[in-house]
Chains A and B, each alone.
Chain A
Amino acid sequence: MERIGLSTGWRIVCGAWMAGVIAAAFIGVGPAAGFREPEAARILFFHVPVAWLAVLGFLGATFHAVRYLRRRNPAADIRAVASAEMGFLFCVLATLSGALFARVQWGAAWNWDPRQTSIVALLLVYAAYFTLRSAVAEPERRAALSAVYAIVATLPMLFLVFILPRVVESLHPADTVRSGGMSPDYRVVFFAALGAFTLLYLWIYRLRVAVGELERVACRHSMK
């Protein structure tokens, strides 16, 4: 089993990097223009990376699902479910942080804004993935069926994340990031935050994979 989690060095880097990002988010930059609550624009440093990691997780689930179907290697199934779980975790966090952001910027935490509906729909899609896994007992069949579902779910997932919010006009300022609407200092902190969260994702993901490997060995004993 390859090393678990991150090496000591990388763990220190991750801790320091995230601490630096949080500090910079609070005191490194000033309020951002173009928001109803300029001071609260900083939430974007946290909300957007978390939302990006949710998508990363679900894409990872698809990737490992394809790998599993090709060679039926149980390790791929473990990584598929680990990625899906990571995706689901960050999707929940993105929903919460999105609602808090909405409450501050537009007064209402939930107004069925297209991006909010799509992120909840995303939760439903992958909640169904875990429901399916719990409904199949035999390990090989569970892995195969959930892999097929993960791949089939990719199409609606991509639609919900990338297409739906664009098709329907949205209050969401997400496009400020891409359209360069951010001031230079915000951009620096934003991409630093993105990096810190991605490293954190990697750390938790590898721990979750280790848990998967451990439980596969453990559950193989209890099957008898």
Chain B
Amino acid sequence: MSPLHEVMVVVLVIWAGLFAYLWRLDTRIREGARQQREAPGDQPDDAPEAVLEPGPGRLGEE
């Protein structure tokens, strides 16, 4: 392999790596978008509301 071809191999290797990563990002975006379409931002169900009321306060009476 002539040296110039070596350079070409390096460039192709770098490009292959970047291409694979971009491909993975693309699938992750598509996956995320699909999930969001199916379960669009429905409100996280709200937690039960706490209730405060006065108590008999019979501590220390015994």
State the A residues within 8 Å of B (CB): 22, 25-26, 37-40, 42-43, 46-47, 50, 89, 92-93, 96-97, 100-101, 103-104, 200, 204, 207-208, 210-211, 214-215, 217-218, 220-222, 224
Given contacts A46-B14, A50-B14, A221-B39, contact A215 B32 (CB under 8 A): yes
Identify the closest chain B residue to A89 (Cβ).
B21
User: By CB atoms of chain B within 10 A, which of A211, A222, A224 has the most?
Assistant: A211
- Kindly identify, within residues 7 to 28 of chain B, every residue whose CB is under 8 Å from any CB belonging to chain A: 7-11, 13-14, 17-18, 21-22, 25, 28
Instruction: Report chain B residues within 8 Å CB of A50.
Output: 14
Given contacts A47-B10, A211-B32, A218-B32, contact A93 B41 (CB under 8 A): no
| Complex: A222 Cα to B38 Cα, angstroms | 11
Tell me what chain A mostly uses at the interface: helix, strand, loop, or mixed.
helix
- Kindly identify, within residues 29 to 62 of chain B, every residue whose CB is under 8 Å from any CB belonging to chain A: 29, 31-33, 35-36, 39, 41-42, 44-45
| Complex: A101 Cα to B32 Cα, angstroms | 39
| Interface size band for B | 20 to 34
Tell me what chain B mostly uses at the interface: helix, strand, loop, or mixed.
helix
Instruction: Report chain B residues within 8 Å CB of A104.
Output: 3, 6
Task: Say yes or no: B33 contacts A214, CB within 8 Å.
Answer: yes
Cβ-closest 3 pairs across A and B: A214-B32, A39-B3, A40-B3
In the assembled complex, the CB of B33 is this many whole angstroms from the nearest CB of chain A, namely 7
Given contacts A26-B7, A43-B7, A221-B42, contact A214 B29 (CB under 8 A): yes
In the assembled complex, the CB of A170 is this many whole angstroms from the nearest CB of chain B, namely 20
Q: Could you list 4 further interchain pairs (A-B, Cβ under 8 angstroms) beyond the known A22-B11, A200-B18?
A: A40-B7, A207-B25, A211-B32, A214-B33
